[in-house]
Amino acid sequence: MSIRDELQEFLDIYVAAYRSKDAAGCAAIFAPDGEVHSPYAPRARGRAAIESLHAVWTQAAGTNKTLAVTEAGSSGDLAWCLAAYSEGEAMGNGTSLSVFERQAD
């Protein structure tokens, strides 16, 4: 499986949690010390903060969020991807940059 396909599967898990308004599920894909930097909110660091942020976002959003990997790469246990996101006209569209570190589990 290509790194692009692997990361898309990972993002699909996130999108499923987001669409079902499962903030804990959204946060679960982040490392315990993971961070979210967004133009829509203050920085969130750690799963608890990421879950709190997603609790706000998922309640305000509809259920049509999409994330599609447009570019991806990897080296060793690190990977990155650019993903086009959409939440419809009301919420907006854009591009997200994500950095991943493969964990033992």
Instruction: Please write down the HEC assignment for all residues of 82-102.
Output: EEEEECCCCCCEEEEEEEEEC
Contact present, 44 and 50 (Cβ < 8 Å): yes
Q: What is the pLDDT of residue 69?
A: 98
User: How far is Cα 37 from Cα 39, in angstroms, rounded to an integer?
Assistant: 7
pLDDT band at 56 (very low <50, low <70, confident <90, very high): very high
pLDDT-derived band of residue 90, with 50, 70 and 90 as boundaries? low
Could you tell me the residue ranges of all domains in the chain?
3-101
CATH topology of domain 3-101: Nuclear Transport Factor 2; Chain: A, (3.10.450)
DSSP string covering 1-68: --HHHHHHHHHHHHHHHHHTT-HHHHHHTS-TT-EEEETTEEEEESHHHHHHHHHHHHHHS-S--EEE
